[in-house]
Amino acid sequence: MGQRRRKRHTVTQRDRILAQLRKTAAVQGGVISRAQAYAAGLTRGEVRAQIRAERWQRVWSRSICLHTGPVSALGRRWAAVFEGGSRGMLDGESSLIASGLEHYESTAHRVSVPRGVKPLRGLGLDIRRTRRWSEDDLAPSGVPRTRVPVAAVRAAMWARSDKQAALLLTMPVQQGMTTAEKLGEALLAVKRDRSSPLMHSVVLDLLGGARSLGELDFAGECRQRGLPEPDRQSVRKGRDGRYYLDVRWADHRVVVEVDGIYHTWADTVVPDALRQNEVSLEDAVVLRLPLLGLRIAADDFFDQIERALRAGGWLRAA
């Protein structure tokens, strides 16, 4: 009698565990990790028994699908992340697709893991260690993946051609998944990469490029901040082929040049421009503003403009 009760209790307990795992799998495309199965209370032997009985199936080495039919695309994404370990996240084009990018296909699941993690191998897997791994890049919900702006920039960095890189930056903006401004912010985190000039050019084109210089209401921006309107504002083309907006306050001996699309681009153009402006404020009064920086760090740059105007004798009205 006692043995029968223990057996019935064991079966009931296992049923509860299986119900819990099915609930977990329901939001993971029908897939769980082995770690999740063990944490729920199943033994390795019980997991093997489910697979041998052909109720479950393996997905790569660390993941299990709780049915034997085709594994869904969502299930494959979760399984790919599980293969990367507890800190793995979909990255690049794989992350973009998981976030809803349409009309684009990838042959492998790219997963980024931090340094020190041993990447696993498997058909359809591309797990790589990266020094750029950061928890701050993680999307807030769903399958673990990088946020869209970060994913787009990295996808462009890892693209096989310039055309593909431009496509991976442009499509998320066209499909409303992110904005050019947010792409610019993510791009500024890339300190050194061979594709930086191309990516900066594409993002500036998405922001409006040279055309946006003519549309930029610089005087209006000054009015909103309580600064005097410039005496002159005109779009010009330099001898090096770059476009810039030339703004001048003659009475205060301050000139600002807002640079448009560069033919060459420093790896840290916005931080460098801010730092160089700090030096020029000591005696020179010509400030250089990259259009990308003006779009995403306007307050920092206008603060420098105000300090230059004050040095030239301007006083804010009380």
Residues 182 and 232 in one domain: no
pLDDT of residue 9: 38
Residue 7 lies in a domain: no
Residues 136 and 171 in one domain: yes
Residue 123 lies in a domain: no
Q: State pLDDT tens for residues 153-210.
A: 999 999 998 889 888 998 999 899 999 889 988 988 887 666 677 788 788 778 766 5
Residues 303 and 215 in one domain: yes
pLDDT band of 122, cuts 50, 70, 90: confident
Q: State pLDDT tens for residues 254-296.
A: 988 887 644 334 444 566 677 667 767 767 688 888 776 776 6
Residue 153 lies in a domain: yes
84 pLDDT exceeds 70?
A: yes
Residues 202 and 100 in one domain: yes
2 pLDDT exceeds 50?
A: no
Residues 96 and 195 in one domain: yes
Instruction: Say what the pTM is.
Output: 0.67
Domain that holds residue 228: 211-311
Among the candidates 145, 172, 207, a domain finishes at 207
pLDDT band of 211, cuts 50, 70, 90: low
Residues 280 and 252 in one domain: yes
Among the candidates 149, 179, 207, a domain finishes at 207
pLDDT of residue 292: 65
pLDDT of residue 264: 37
Residue 284 lies in a domain: yes
Residues 180 and 230 in one domain: no
pLDDT of residue 209: 61
Residue 8 lies in a domain: no
pLDDT of residue 48: 95
Among the candidates 167, 183, 207, a domain finishes at 207
pLDDT of residue 120: 81
Q: Looking at the 3D structure of the chain, how many domains does it have?
A: 3
Q: State pLDDT tens for residues 4-62.
A: 443 443 678 888 999 999 999 999 999 999 999 999 999 999 999 999 999 999 999 99
Q: State pLDDT tens for residues 141-152.
A: 999 999 999 999
Note whether 284 and 222 are within 8 A (CB).
Answer: no
Residues 159 and 217 in one domain: no
